Amino acid sequence: MTRVAMLSVHACPLAKLGGRDSGGMNVYVRELARDLGARGIEVDVFTRWRERYDPRIQQLGPNARVIHVESGPIGYWPKMAVYEHLDQFGEKLLEHVAAEGKRYDLVHAHYWLSAKVARTLAEHWRVPRIQMFHTLGLVKREVLDEDIDGESDVRVAIEREAVRESAAIVAASTIELAELRQLYRADPSRVAVIPCGVDPEVFKPVRQADAREALGRDQCERLVLFVGRIEQIKGIDVLLRALGLLFQRHPDLRSDVCLLVVGGALDPGDDAPETEKILELRRLVHEHRMEANVAFVGSRDQEQLALYYAAADVCAVPSLTESFGLVALEAMACGTPVVGTRVGGLQTLIEDGESGLLVPAGDDTALAEAIHAVLTDHRLRTHLSHGARERAERFTWSRVGQRMTELYDKVLAAAAGGRGAQPPDRVEV
């Protein structure tokens, strides 16, 4: 049986979604580990111990566990603070593995924080390592305000090192592959493009009236949905400006259009005040007189989230950059039209005019026009809904697990033969 040490230092696969540093990557690690475990691959996901009452070891499914590792004080810490304790994370991880008498065949790291630990483990155990970044520091630098959310030189240096040294790199889209080649000089022969997946048993079409009844929403209102962390890179401020512009140009819509914001920066059980970003957004809502049109509903579990997708008329994904766009895929699987930005993996996931609409990132005018088109054109909305569901059916966690298994086999075979790994053929779904 193949044994994989999967590293997700800052993102626990069991964390409540939508809070600080919790989002698509948590879902990805959880669903991938479960699928690999069901295939007979033993997966231990090592993550930082962040919630005080979480048990040290939690079962994800057959052959798949989450192991919480002490790394600095328990609780939420910004990523650079997590970085300062990575050596302790590695030491405690090795102590745990030694105590269990485990042996791993390869290390699979997620995000740059895990890359640093993976380097140490791979050298210590003399096994190959696989890296997936989920987001890239140099890409974020291109779109974010350097003074507010600038990415550190430390992060970029670790990413460059991981690109050079990893046996294989997983990219979520051909766009990310191009970014790795252009910005990090990645060897394309060692990059495997494996798109993300969605659980069709959770995210599936539900009659809109039933979903709204379950959520206690008005059957006659027009619902715009945003799902994600409340931070600059997700473009929520662009969406609020677009909504204000929509009401300015079409004042009649103010009476029945509502934006639901699912996600929040508060941790489970955290009594701390809302973050400055949410306060900034509330000021923007007030500026456009949209208090009656915007509702921040906080984080929701997967089952409830599926109801929000089904209840919505359109899901807005206004990200400034997106390696794949899991929110868009989940909405599409529910048959909900998506208006997304023409960035990253969203460009390959959404077929403009068929399974959703694409607009330039940061363009509140174009975003307002696209949302208006979907809300007011029933024929277009129906066309995009059908196209979205059909497109989403091609993306499953089973397919992700199958292709990752093939990659593992190739990497391990190459390591046994003393050669560089050759990932499977890149196939964009």
Residue 4 β-bridge partners: 43, 106
State the pLDDT at residue 279. Answer: 80
Out of 3.30.70.600, 3.40.50.2000, 3.30.70.20, 1.10.3720.10, select the CATH number for domain 3-197+396-417: 3.40.50.2000
pLDDT digits (tens, 9 = 90+) for 157-191: 999 999 999 999 999 999 999 999 999 999 999 99
Over 50: is that where the pLDDT of 272 sits?
no
3-state DSSP percent of the chain in helix, strand and coil, to 5: 45, 15, 35
Residue 213 β-bridge partners: none
Which segment of 73-87, 95-109, 371-385 scores lowest on mean pLDDT? 73-87
State the pLDDT at residue 122. Answer: 97
Across the chain, what does the average pLDDT equal?
90
Q: For the residues 353-368, what does the mean pLDDT come to? A: 97
pLDDT digits (tens, 9 = 90+) for 234-266: 999 999 999 999 999 999 999 999 999 998 754
Buried residues in 257-288 as b, exposed as e (16+ CB within 10 A): bbbbbbbbbbbeeeeeeeeebbebbeebbeeb
State the pLDDT at residue 268. Answer: 41
State the pLDDT at residue 281. Answer: 86
State the pLDDT at residue 425. Answer: 56
Q: Which residues contact 63 (CB under 8 A, 6 or more apart)?
A: 1, 36, 37, 38, 40, 41, 42, 43
State the pLDDT at residue 1. Answer: 87
Q: Using pLDDT thresholds of 50, 70 and 90, give the confidence band for residue 269.
A: very low
Residue 192 β-bridge partners: 170
Over 60: is that where the pLDDT of 51 sits?
yes
Give the CATH fold of the 208-392 domain. Answer: Rossmann fold (3.40.50)
Domain boundaries, the chain: 3-197+396-417, 208-392
State the pLDDT at residue 424. Answer: 57
Q: For the residues 40-59, what does the mean pLDDT come to? A: 92
